[in-house]
Amino acid sequence: MAFRTKFKHSGGVKDPSTFSHSGFHVGTVSSPSSNGLFNYSVNTVSQSSPPSVLAGTGYSSLKRRVPLCKVDHGSVTDWLAAMKDSSPPRTRSSRVDADDMEYNNWMESYPSALKNFEKVLEAAHGKRIFVFLDYDGTLSPIVENPESAFMSEEMRAAVKEIASLFPTAIITGRSREKVRTFTLTVYEFVQLPELYYAGSHGMDIMGPAEGCGGHKIQGTRVLNDEGNEIVMFQPASEYTAVMDEIFKLLEEKASKVNGAKVEHNKFCVSVHFRRVNEEDWLHLAEHVQQVLRSYPNLCLTQGRKVLEVRPLILWNKGKALDYLLKAFGFGNRSDVFPIYIGDDLTDEDAFKSVARRKHGLAILVSNVVKDTNATCSLRDPSEVLEFLRSLVKWKRRCLSRHLFVGSQNILHKRAGVGLNQPLT
Ligand SMILES: O=P(O)(O)OC[C@H]1O[C@H](O[C@H]2O[C@H](CO)[C@@H](O)[C@H](O)[C@H]2O)[C@H](O)[C@@H](O)[C@@H]1O
């Protein structure tokens, strides 16, 4: 079974693989292979055919189209509309029946990866699984204060086990390196040295140094604390100073808006509006837009109640996933099976990257209806935990079966019996 999606992208975009981010763009994207102009208007995700993942579970057409990407400086009211679009005001507990029905219909198109776990295994059969995890909203629940988004000990234990069985990386908007003493890095939240980390939405990668088919991958080789060679790759390294500058400007502007919070995530500055009254959102957006006007080489993307300013380069979580697979030595292999789990707009680039591959699984974490390039879903981090545990259990079963067959063969050999003959 192939885990691939076929989506129609509208808004004048021919090749979704060329998107740089899911978000607003301010200015143009420079690409070495283009004339520097990368013009498109609105990237919407819509479905024209059912995703083939977990085929047979049925399909209900979802007519709604939600813009994922607003391009050009646009009017600030467009920004505001998108801020509201991506911030469903109600929680599931307070949703009315009609919404539940809509959600159930949606689940037919994006079936639960947990309820269909056997099908997941079937699809992954004989392939090498790589696990990619987003952090906020995937491993940790969304909370009011970004500094308190801790993952549970159970989740940490499950991720640790996953990493002992599959190459595993965290791809997050958070900072990988310490930028400010009082801001926690993603590593300080996860605390697992056995993982690889890509911070700043994939723009700050610490990955394995194996390379693909003997070819060296881009990046600087360094030794980690365990003495292993790793590779560091920062495609936006020349933006370090400008990001420091923009952080200061945005922090100053945001201080005028009650509840706004600005986070320095190294190659991305996040302006949080979760604790800002809705009537002040426009005010905040205006401030951000005003600052950005003087920085045509930066762009704005959007996450869960957060506006994120980042370098305008052709790099995103999807590119980071591709880079890491290459770094693991599996860039061009057809037997790789990446599993990517994420909850946010910025994860859509990674979902697209998985969809472009022959095999793999893109899982959206959501308990509300969302347009997405993922092929299946999990409701919330507690289901992510269950899914990871199932994966661990299954892999352990496979390994012990292997071990059992291996030891049987040794016994057969010792007894001088043919390998396929039963021992009497
Ligand atoms: O790529 P991710 O790992 O999902 O990180 C994206 C952003 O996540 C954080 O913000 C989000 O989670 C906060 C804590 O639950 C929540 O308060 C906020 O509203 C969300 O947007 C993080 O603070 C950002 O720096 C990340 O870029």
What pLDDT, on a 0 to 100 scale, did the predictor assign at position 410?
Answer: 66
What are 368's two structure tokens? 């509300």
Ligand 1 pocket check for 275: Cβ under 6 Å: no
The phi-psi region of residue 290 (left if phi > 0; otherwise alpha if psi is between -120 and 50; otherwise beta) is alpha
What pLDDT, on a 0 to 100 scale, did the predictor assign at position 78?
Answer: 84
How far, in Å, from the CA of 180 to the mean position of ligand 1? 17
What pLDDT, on a 0 to 100 scale, did the predictor assign at position 85?
Answer: 78
The DSSP-derived string for 123-179 is HHTTSEEEEEE--BTTTB---SSGGG-PPPHHHHHHHHHHHHHS-EEEE-SS-SS--
* Helix, coil or strand: residue 333: coil
Q: What are the pLDDT digits (tens) for 172-208?
A: 999 999 998 788 999 999 999 999 999 999 999 998 8
Residues of the chain with pLDDT under 70: 1-74, 87-96, 211-215, 405-424
Residue identifier of the C-alpha nearest atom 21 of ligand 1:
304
Give the number of the atom of ligand 1 that is nearest the alpha carbon of residue 274. 19
Q: What are the pLDDT digits (tens) for 146-165?
A: 999 999 999 999 999 999 99
The DSSP-derived string for 193-213 is TTSEEEEGGGTEEEEE---BT
**Kind of pairing between the strands at 42-46 and 269-272:** unpaired
How far, in Å, from the CA of 294 to the mean position of ligand 1? 26
Give the number of the atom of ligand 1 that is nearest the alpha carbon of residue 306. 21
What are 42's two structure tokens? 């609105």
Ligand 1 pocket check for 111: Cβ under 6 Å: no
Could you tell me the strand order of the sheet in which 298-303 lies? 23-24, 298-303, 306-311, 269-272, 261-264
How far, in Å, from the CA of 198 to the mean position of ligand 1? 15
Give the number of the atom of ligand 1 that is nearest the alpha carbon of residue 170. 3
Mutation pick for ligand 1 pocket among 21, 22, 135, 136 (CB with most ligand atoms within 8 Å): 136
Determine what percent of the chain falls in helix, strand and coil, rounding each to the nearest 5. Answer: 35, 20, 45
**Kind of pairing between the strands at 42-46 and 66-70:** antiparallel
Place of tokens 């952090």: 135
Residue identifier of the C-alpha nearest atom 7 of ligand 1:
173
- Distance separating alpha carbons of residues 211 and 328, to the nearest angstrom: 6
> Do residues 46 and 82 make contact, with C-beta atoms less than 8 angstroms apart?
no
* All residues at 6 or more sequence positions from 108 whose CB lies less than 8 Å from its CB, including other chains: 57, 58, 59, 60
Give the number of the atom of ligand 1 that is nearest the alpha carbon of residue 143. 15
What pLDDT, on a 0 to 100 scale, did the predictor assign at position 333?
Answer: 86
Ligand 1 pocket check for 149: Cβ under 6 Å: yes
DSSP character for 280? G
What pLDDT, on a 0 to 100 scale, did the predictor assign at position 216?
Answer: 72
Ligand 1 pocket check for 121: Cβ under 6 Å: no
Ligand 1 pocket check for 344: Cβ under 6 Å: yes
> Do residues 127 and 336 make contact, with C-beta atoms less than 8 angstroms apart?
yes
What are 187's two structure tokens? 């590593």
How far, in Å, from the CA of 270 to the mean position of ligand 1? 8
What pLDDT, on a 0 to 100 scale, did the predictor assign at position 58?
Answer: 26
Beta strands in 240-359 (DSSP E): 261-264, 269-272, 298-303, 306-311, 336-342
Residue identifier of the C-alpha nearest atom 8 of ligand 1:
136
Ligand 1 pocket check for 287: Cβ under 6 Å: no
* Helix, coil or strand: residue 237: helix
What pLDDT, on a 0 to 100 scale, did the predictor assign at position 87?
Answer: 67
According to DSSP, the residues that pair with 221 across neighbouring strands are 231
Residue identifier of the C-alpha nearest atom 20 of ligand 1:
304
Count Cβ atoms below 10 Å from residue 269 Cβ, excluding itself: 28
Ligand 1 pocket check for 395: Cβ under 6 Å: no
What pLDDT, on a 0 to 100 scale, did the predictor assign at position 211?
Answer: 64
How far, in Å, from the CA of 306 to the mean position of ligand 1? 7
Give the number of the atom of ligand 1 that is nearest the alpha carbon of residue 344. 4
What pLDDT, on a 0 to 100 scale, did the predictor assign at position 15?
Answer: 31
> Do residues 140 and 155 make contact, with C-beta atoms less than 8 angstroms apart?
yes
DSSP character for 358? S
Place of tokens 């467009």: 78
Residue identifier of the C-alpha nearest atom 10 of ligand 1:
146
CA dihedral in degrees (70, 39, 238, 212; nearest 10)? 100
Ligand 1 pocket check for 265: Cβ under 6 Å: yes
Cα Dmax for the chain: 83
What pLDDT, on a 0 to 100 scale, did the predictor assign at position 60?
Answer: 28
Ligand 1 pocket check for 270: Cβ under 6 Å: yes
* Cα 386-355-6 angle, rounded to 5 deg: 115
Ligand 1 pocket check for 161: Cβ under 6 Å: no
* Helix, coil or strand: residue 105: helix
Question: Among 350, 391, 357, which residue's Cα sits nearest to residue 374?
Answer: 350
Question: Among 309, 321, 322, 206, which residue's Cα sits nearest to residue 266?
Answer: 309
